[in-house]
């Protein structure tokens, strides 16, 4: 049996570990052979393939990024997209497809499987950890570790100069990276997209921290917005690739703190550093297990399913269940982290 593999959406540490798990088990245990599709759904749309055998996956476990390339191409938004995908899969004699991606990539895989009879299996990925139906996505732990290390470093420079340091982390719609790295890095103020923040309250806390001789560290998710709505946080303009640009909350907040408290403030925007480089051991473990279980789904003919982590078990869930709704931060968890923000 010939199986296609693709990686779509923003890249994420651990993608190569999944690919390796799929190919190694598929070849060695089931006698499958594989074809890689380049750049997410663009590959099967344009019949753009890459060799994917045991040799191709050698040594890729610790490598960040994806050997298959990635894109945010959505064939459902392209005229004749589904037909072209079906034709190219037939040309390649591909009988099943493993799609590794986030909400968008998996949304396409789910619809292809459920509505158009394309045999797809999904593997969840995102550093944001905001996919439903799985306890964790790989890439998240790596991003949290990178952000935590950055916050640790910001503490020492903030203390040396007695400045406010605002650290902006990724998370457009969900504050998981901010919550976990903020707690792990001892940042007392953690601002997330799920709850609007009160700038006056942040400033009052900053002032109280200085009175107690501490340099305040504020962690803010890129999608967080203030309660008073004074700021245009989102530049809704599209870049030349048609992506919405979201930036600015960290910079804006530092300026606002400085203006309102008179305390010198700086911003660090971590950006894509959180997405690049080698995955942590946890992410390699999770991604490898996802890969092994995804190829089991193919072998069992269990299509339209996504592998997911529940506790320490890998289970299969309908892709549609995972993409129906984003997994946002539970208010109780956020409240728990707010205990230091007094």
Binding site for ligand F6P (CB under 6 A): 10, 102, 126-128, 170-172, 222, 243, 275
Could you confirm whether 128 is annotated as catalytic? Answer: yes
Contacts of 253 (CB under 8 A, 6+ apart): 166, 191, 199, 202, 218, 220, 226, 267
- Cβ closest to ligand F6P, residue 169 vs residue 309: 169
The CB-of-302 to ligand F6P minimum distance in angstroms stands at 27
User: What is the rounded CA–CA span in Å between residue 250 and residue 301?
Assistant: 47
- Cβ closest to ligand F6P, residue 58 vs residue 243: 243
Dihedrals phi, psi of 50, to nearest 5 degrees: -140, 145
Contacts of 55 (CB under 8 A, 6+ apart): none
Which residues contribute to the annotated binding site for Mg(2+)? Answer: 103
Taking the CB of residue 207, how many other CB atoms lie within 10 A of it? Answer: 14
The CB-of-221 to ligand F6P minimum distance in angstroms stands at 9
- Cβ closest to ligand F6P, residue 86 vs residue 234: 234
DSSP state of 34: E
Which residues contribute to the annotated binding site for diphosphate? Answer: 10
Residue carrying the six token digits 């903020």: 182
User: What is the rounded CA–CA span in Å between residue 274 and residue 10?
Assistant: 12
DSSP state of 341: -
* Catalytic one of 128, 141, 283, 296: 128
Residue with nearest beta carbon to ligand F6P: 170
- Cβ closest to ligand F6P, residue 71 vs residue 261: 71
Helices first, then strands: H and E counts in the chain: 11, 13
User: What is the rounded CA–CA span in Å between residue 129 and residue 145?
Assistant: 14
- Cβ closest to ligand F6P, residue 67 vs residue 221: 221
The CB-of-126 to ligand F6P minimum distance in angstroms stands at 5
The CB-of-272 to ligand F6P minimum distance in angstroms stands at 6
The CB-of-222 to ligand F6P minimum distance in angstroms stands at 6
User: What is the rounded CA–CA span in Å between residue 121 and residue 341?
Assistant: 43
Which residues contribute to the annotated binding site for substrate? Answer: 126-128, 163, 170-172, 222, 266, 272-275
Q: Give me the active site residues, please.
A: 128
């Amino acid at each position: 049996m010939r199986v296609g593999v693709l990686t779509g959406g923003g890249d994420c540490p651990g993608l190569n570990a999944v690919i390796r798990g799929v190919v190694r088990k598929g070849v060695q245990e089931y006698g499958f052979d594989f074809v890689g599709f380049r750049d997410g759904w663009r590959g099967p749309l344009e019949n753009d393939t890459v060799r994917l055998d045991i040799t191709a996956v050698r040594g890729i476990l610790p490598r960040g990024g994806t050997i298959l390339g990635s894109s945010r191409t959505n064939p459902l938004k392209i005229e004749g997209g589904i037909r072209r995908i079906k034709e190219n899969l037939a040309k390649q004699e591909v009988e099943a497809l493993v799609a590794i991606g986030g909400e968008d990539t998996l949304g396409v895989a789910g619809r292809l499987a459920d509505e158009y009879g394309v045999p797809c299996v999904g593997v969840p990925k995102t550093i944001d950890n905001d996919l439903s139906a799985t306890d964790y996505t790989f890439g998240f732990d790596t991003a949290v570790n990178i952000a935590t290390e950055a916050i640790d470093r910001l503490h020492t420079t903030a203390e040396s100069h007695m400045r406010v340091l605002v650290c902006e982390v990724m998370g457009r719609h969900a504050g998981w990276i901010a919550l976990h790295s903020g707690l792990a890095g001892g940042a007392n103020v953690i601002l997330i997209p799920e709850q609007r923040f009160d700038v006056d309250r942040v400033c009052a806390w900053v002032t109280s921290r200085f009175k107690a001789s501490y340099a305040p560290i504020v962690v803010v998710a890129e999608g967080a917005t203030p309660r008073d709505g004074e700021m245009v946080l989102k530049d809704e303009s599209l870049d030349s690739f048609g992506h919405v640009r979201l930036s600015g909350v960290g910079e804006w907040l530092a300026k606002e703190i400085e203006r309102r408290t008179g305390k010198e403030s700086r911003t660090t925007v971590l950006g894509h550093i959180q997405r690049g480089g080698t995955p942590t051991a946890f992410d390699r473990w999770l991604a490898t297990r996802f890969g092994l279980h995804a190829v089991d789904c193919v072998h069992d003919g269990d299509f339209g399913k996504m592998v997911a982590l529940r506790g320490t078990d890998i289970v299969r869930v309908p892709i549609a269940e995972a993409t129906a709704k984003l997994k946002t931060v539970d208010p109780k968890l956020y409240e728990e982290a707010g205990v230091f923000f007094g």
